[in-house]
Structure 1
Amino acid sequence: MKIVRTALLAATLALPAPLALAHQPSPETVAPQGATAFDRRVAQLVDVINGNMAFDAYFAPSFQAAVPEAQFKAMTASITAQYGRAITVEGAHSADGRSGKLQLRFEKGVATVLLDAGPPPDERVAGLRITGFTMADDSFARVSGDIAALPGVTGFLVAEVDGDALRSIAASHADRQFAIGSAFKLYVLDELAAQIAAGKRRWNDVVPLSHLSFSSAATANWPKDTPVTLQTLANWMISVSDNGAADTLIHLLGRDAIEARMRAAGNSDPSRTIPFLTTVEAFALKGNNFTDLRGKFVAGDDAAQRKLIDGNADRLVLSNVDGVSFTAGPRFIDSLEWFASPDDIARLMIDLRQRGSEPAMAAMAINNGLGPVAAEPWRYLGYKGGSENGVLSMSLLGQRKADGKWFVVTASWNNADANVDTVVFSGLVTRLLALAAK
């Protein structure tokens, strides 16, 4: 239910602080005489990534506050598990001697990195961001094998879009439905665009923010019923996966209408996602406060589930959701979720594109999910991800610069027994997108 982000390592600029090197860098990492702050910190980066230089000796206090050492180590462990150890820096360039871009070569690939050195006297790194990876000698077969090796169940599809037809280029379990988290919001966007095309609504219609929810990056702590436009709600819902915006739109558009749109867009087993739950309803039913309703809901058919939701509308509200339930591992991801296969998502992307709605397409392009390096070969790149404990889904619709052809890249990973690794999965999807760009 959260947005998937791939800004792996980032922090804001910091004030200077004392520097205490943990050890002398090896000779090959020493910057040349007269080097800038950027050059000196770039020269130490391989040691930092490989764990051979102390975290607090390299990073400014502001970075340490934004990305604690344990989190940094977990991120670098995930990166090196997939790409091997860091080997060397290539193509480093800075216009001002303090901030710039470089290529960091690993044993199995190359990362594009943005680095900001802090001010004197210690010039510790205040910003470090890995914006994309390329894998050496990569292929769809290699990525498919790496995805298949993940614990749990996985599926993906890379396909060329030709009108309303799909030409599969690479796929695995593309017809299997997975829990998709917030990727369900694409169905809401599709129905919103359809109602606007039919003249029922306009993008600039002003409506109240009627339903607040958890994990709402845009609307957190906003007053209920704040007036907002439909386009604003759509932008929030897609770009930062705002759950309050999504729930407001579901109530406004109508659950039945979104379900009909889901069927029309070609969902292969719509009953698994009917009734089409709001995020608050899903949170509530997954939580410990509603064990009495959960079993009945899971066991019921569509009609019984709808009757239970409608009959308990006064209970299934944000104030009754048990947030503590979601601090551990996956919760009922096989039975209380929104479901779609990679094939389903690809057909949904076709439906959205053929609707010809510039605002809908623009909403998907606000956050492309994988950063500027991955997006460079694409004239257009729209994205929606979804995540919760045990669930990751990443889906992209792109138009290739080289020839104007359209492609869908979509992948899902479910593990009912343990949380899943966003960094690893983002890297795999980045590789699929890069291969599709060729």
Structure 2
Amino acid sequence: MRNRWHALIAAALCIGGLPQTAGAQAPETHSAQTTAFDRRAGELVDLFNGKIAFADYFAPSFQQAIPEAQFKAMTAGLIAQYGRAIAIEQVISKDGRSGTLQLRFEKGTGSVILDVGADADERVIGLRLTGFQMANDSYDSVAAELAALPGATGFLVAELDGASIRPLAAANTDKQFAVGSTFKLYVLDELAAQIAAGERQWSDVAPLSHPSFSSAGTANWPRNTPVTLQTLANWMISVSDNGATDTLIHLLGRERIEARMRAAGHSDPSRNTPFLTTVEAFALKGNNFADIRPAFIAGDDKAQRKLIEANRGRLVLANVDGVSFIEGPRFIDSLEWFANPNDIARAFIALRARRSTTLMSVLAINNGVGPAASEPWRYLGYKGGSENGVLSMSLLGERKADGKWFVVTTSWNDPKANLDADKMVGLVTRLLALAAK
């Protein structure tokens, strides 16, 4: 339900994007003189191989944001998967302080954004590893790694030709997975449908009427703050804001979103009927609703809808105890939003078919994988979702090379344990890189 979308802050290392292809060995810099950026970039191989002290390389601001133990755990994981760091390539800086480079390992290449501080010691204030490309990668290799993960996984990489889905690689495409906030694609589709029908406009103003738990954009905003529908959509998709989502669900109508989901071709719409708001889902998962949860899970669509209506006054944010965020997975097989990889591909087809520039811009605010990963793509839209035991990442892209459209979607569920989001991001961006070729 929370969308871990990997926004990169100035002093953070984030593993998970996709690099550009490694090229010339010679550094490319803004001048012939050695700059602070050149020097710190040149030390990266030794840093990753443990030959330079953490405190000597990073400024205090970075050390505070990323403790040494956390950094060492990250680098150890990289080396375990990709081998030792061996070289830097494609070093580019316009000001001698900030820039990009490729860090080559024995079995792959990472794309790095590096920022050097202006203090006299010129230590690094920002290091972001935004992506990774495996050497000699293949769909079979990624599929094998996904299949080996604990729990259950499914994925689809497919070319989209109008309404046709042409798979390039896939596994478990007909299995229903908990997908967390990926369900918000259907809310966006219904919003766009009502706008296309002339019932609403993107510029319409509505009150932020339904605050929710874990809202990245609207946390602590006063109830009924006036915002446009486009703003609500931007928040819902780009940062997976739950308050914006629930406001839209109540505004657009639960039943109309359910109908839109069916029209988009969802293969098992009953799994998402009634179409729960985030507050309703969070509440039902928690201990405060242990009295009605068994009946809800056991009920059919009609019984579930009746139960929701009967408990409307209880299923509110004040009664969400947050237990699903501090413990392991909670009822992800029965209290969630569900879709299989083919369903998500069909949802993207429905969204693209609306030919709405605004809709497409909403999907592209946060492409989920960073600038390096998006370089081969003329357009890249994204929606992800996560909860304890649930990870989902889905992308819609137009390839620069030939204008063809593709979908890349992956889901991972494990009802027994929390999941490794960095591993998921790495696998998805590898699939995206393969689709870009």
Q: Same fold (TM over 0.5)?
A: yes
Supply the AA of the counterpart residue of 1:5.
Answer: W
What residue is the counterpart of 1:3 in the other structure? Answer: 3
SS in 1 for 2:291: helix
Alignment-derived partner of residue 362 in structure 1: 361
Q: Take 1:178 and 1:83, find their aligned partners in 2: how far apart are those partners?
A: 30
Is this contact kept in 1: 2:282–2:324, CA < 8 A? no
**Displacement, 1:10?**
4.4
TM-fit CA distance, 1:205: 0.8
Counterparts of residues 87-236 of structure 1 (less than 5 Å): 87-236=86-235
For 1:263-274, list aligned pairs within 5 A.
263-274=262-273
The aligned counterpart of 1:306 is: 305
Aligned equivalents of 1:71 and 1:283: distance in 2? 30
Give, in whole Å, the separation in 2 of the partners of 1:81 and 1:271.
Answer: 43
Rounded to whole Å, the distance in 2 between the matches of 1:294 and 1:204 is: 39
Task: Report deviation, 1:416.
Answer: 1.1
Q: Does the 8 Å contact 2:82/2:105 carry over to 1?
A: yes
Q: Partners in 1 of 2:69 and 2:305 — Cα distance?
A: 44
Q: Structure 2 matches for 1:20-419, cutoff 5 A?
A: 35-419=34-418
1:151-191 deviations in Å (ceiling 9; x for gaps)? 11101001111111111111011111111011110010001
- Counterpart for residue 436 of structure 1: 435
Measure the CA separation in 1 of the matches of 2:73 and 2:96: 30
| Number of aligned residue pairs | 418
Q: Is contact 1:203-1:229 (8 Å) kept?
A: yes
Q: 8 Å contact 2:79–2:85 — kept in the other structure?
A: yes
Paired with 2:89 and 2:137, the residues of 1 have a C-alpha distance of: 20
Q: Distance in 2 between matches of 1:67 and 1:436?
A: 33
CA distances 1:252-276 after superposition (whole Å, capped 9, x unpaired): 1111011111111111111111111
- TM-score, length-normalised on structure 1? 0.92
Closer, same or farther in 2 for the Cα pair 1:389/1:47, shift >3 Å?
farther
Over aligned residues, Cα RMSD in angstroms?
1.7
Q: Alpha-carbon deviation of 1:50?
A: 3.6
CA contact (8 A) 1:6 1:423 kept: no
| Mapped partners of 1:351, 1:130: distance in 2 | 34
1:41 partner letter? R
Runs (5+) with no aligned partner, structure 1: 13-32
CA–CA separation in structure 2 for the residues paired with 1:76 and 1:98 = 23
Q: Percent identity?
A: 72
Q: Could you report, residue by residue, the CA deviation over 1:124-172 in whole angstroms, capped at 9, with x for unpaired residues?
A: 2101111222211111111111111111110100111111111111101
- 1:311–1:80: structure 2 CA closer, same or farther, 3 Å change rule? farther
Check whether the contact 1:217–1:241 (CA below 8 A) recurs between aligned residues. Answer: yes
Distance 1:57 1:42, change over 3 A: same
Contact 2:5–2:239 (CA under 8 A) maintained in structure 1: no
Q: Determine the C-alpha separation between the residues in 2 that align with 1:331 and 1:46.
A: 42
Please tell me the residue identity of whatever aligns with 2:191: L
Q: Which amino acid counterpart does residue 321 of structure 1 have in structure 2?
A: V
Following superposition, the deviation at residue 96 of structure 1 comes to 2.2
* Residue 100 of structure 1, CA deviation: 1.4
41-50 or 221-230, which moves further after superposition? 41-50
Moved more, 122-131 or 152-161: 122-131
Judge conservation of contact 2:324–2:388 (CA < 8 Å) in 1. Answer: no
Counterpart of 1:165, as a letter, is S
Give, in angstroms, the shift of residue 52 of structure 1: 4.2
**Deviation of 1:85 (Å):** 2.9
C-alpha distance in 2 between matches for 1:194 and 1:370: 28
Q: Is the 8 A contact 1:395 1:411 kept in 2?
A: yes
Change (3 A) 1:377 1:82: same
